[in-house]
């Protein structure tokens, strides 16, 4: 089994909790709170439980967060027909 992808180091749990409180996007807030659990020493399984998702989804969120920060956790619109 591969090691979990580490979270970026320029954020922490309290910062993500403040961001979750400030956002109007409920899905983004749920994702931020799940990742805050990891920052605070919780397991990825705990984060998955908080987010109501699987471990694979947590990994996807970590990758998006690492690439784009909190804005990477906003649900984007799927591209439609051109």
- The whole model's pTM is what? 0.88
Domains of the chain, by residue range, sit at: 13-72
What is the token pair recorded at 77?
A: 């619109």
pLDDT one-digit tens code per residue, 10-66: 999 999 999 999 999 999 999 999 999 999 999 999 999 999 999 999 999 999 999
**pLDDT attached to residue 78:** 65
The full DSSP string for 48-64 is: HHHHTS-HHHHHHHHHH
Q: How far apart, in whole angstroms, are the C-alpha atoms of residue 49 and residue 37?
A: 10
**pLDDT attached to residue 1:** 57
Angle, helix 13-22 to helix 26-39, in steps of 10 degrees = 170
**pLDDT attached to residue 15:** 97
């Amino acid at each position: 089994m591969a090691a979990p992808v580490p979270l970026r180091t320029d954020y922490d749990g309290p910062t993500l909790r403040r961001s979750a409180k400030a956002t109007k996007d409920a899905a983004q807030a749920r994702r931020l709170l799940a990742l805050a659990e990891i920052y605070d020493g919780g397991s990825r399984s705990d984060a998955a439980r908080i987010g109501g998702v699987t471990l694979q989804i947590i990994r996807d969120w970590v990758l998006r967060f690492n690439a784009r920060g909190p804005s990477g956790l906003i649900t984007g619109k799927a591209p439609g027909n051109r």
